[in-house]
C-alpha cells in the first residue's frame, strides 16, 4: 500500500508568525503528482488557521475543523477529545500569547496529510506557564471534500 501512496514534502525553512512569507522548498518523491502542490498549500493554510484559532481562542474553528473522533495527546500524555478542546477554548483556561512555527513538513498519503513542525510558544493553562519549544504532529483527513484534523500530539523539546 505504501508504494501506492503519493508522498510530497514541503519544508518551511523560515517560518514567519503569520505564515505570510514562508520560504518553501519542494522535495518530490516517487509518484510525485504536480497537482499535489495545491493540496499542500491547502494544508499549510489550514495550519496557519489552526495557529490563529489557538492564539484567538476561536472555539468555532475547532468545532468546524476537528473530526468527531478527534484525539489529541498532550505533552504530559493526557488524551483530549474534540469536546474537551472546544470547552478549553471557550472557557479561556488555555491561553496562547504567542506561537512561532518552524521546521514544518507536510506529507501526503492520498486523502491523508501528516504535518510535523516545531512550535515555540508562550502561554498558560489554568494559570500555569507552559511556554517553551515543542514538536508536534497533526493528522488531517479529507472527508467529503473538506479537511479535518483527526489527531494531534505535542512533545516538549530541549
Find all residues with CB under 8 Å of 152, minimum gap 6, and list them: 70, 71, 72, 73, 136, 137, 138, 139
0.75 exceeded by pTM = yes
Give the range among 17-26, 43-52, 89-98 with minimum mean pLDDT. 17-26
State the pLDDT at residue 94.
87
Q: What is the pLDDT of residues 101-135, one digit of tens each?
A: 999 999 999 999 999 999 999 999 888 999 999 99
Task: Return the beta strands (E) in 15-64 as ranges.
Answer: 23-28
| Cα 15 to Cα 9, 87, 153, distances in angstroms | 16, 29, 20
Q: What is the mean pLDDT of the chain?
A: 83
The strand pairing partners of 1, in sequence order, are none
Q: What is the pLDDT of residues 112-121, one digit of tens each?
A: 999 999 999 9
Q: What angle do CA 75, 79, 84 make, to 5 degrees?
A: 110
Please say whether the beta carbons of 40 and 122 come within 8 A.
no
Domains and CATH numbers, the chain: 2-156 (3.10.450.50)
Amino acid at each position: 500500500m505504501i508504494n501506492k501512496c503519493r508522498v510530497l514534502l514541503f519544508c518551511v525553512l523560515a517560518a514567519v508568525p503569520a505564515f505570510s512569507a514562508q520560504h518553501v522548498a519542494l522535495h518530490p518523491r516517487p509518484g510525485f503528482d504536480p497537482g499535489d502542490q495545491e493540496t499542500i498549500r491547502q494544508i499549510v493554510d489550514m495550519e496557519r488557521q489552526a495557529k490563529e484559532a489557538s492564539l484567538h481562542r476561536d472555539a468555532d474553528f475547532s468545532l468546524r475543523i476537528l473530526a468527531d473522533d478527534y484525539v489529541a495527546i498532550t505533552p504530559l500524555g493526557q488524551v483530549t477529545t474534540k469536546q474537551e478542546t472546544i470547552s478549553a477554548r471557550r472557557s479561556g483556561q488555555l491561553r496562547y500569547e504567542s506561537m512561532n512555527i518552524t521546521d514544518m513538513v507536510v506529507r501526503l498519503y492520498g486523502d491523508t496529510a501528516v504535518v510535523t513542525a516545531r512550535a515555540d510558544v508562550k502561554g498558560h493553562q489554568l494559570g500555569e506557564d507552559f511556554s517553551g519549544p515543542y514538536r508536534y504532529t497533526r493528522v488531517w483527513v479529507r472527508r467529503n471534500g473538506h479537511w479535518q484534523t483527526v489527531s494531534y500530539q505535542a512533545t516538549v523539546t530541549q
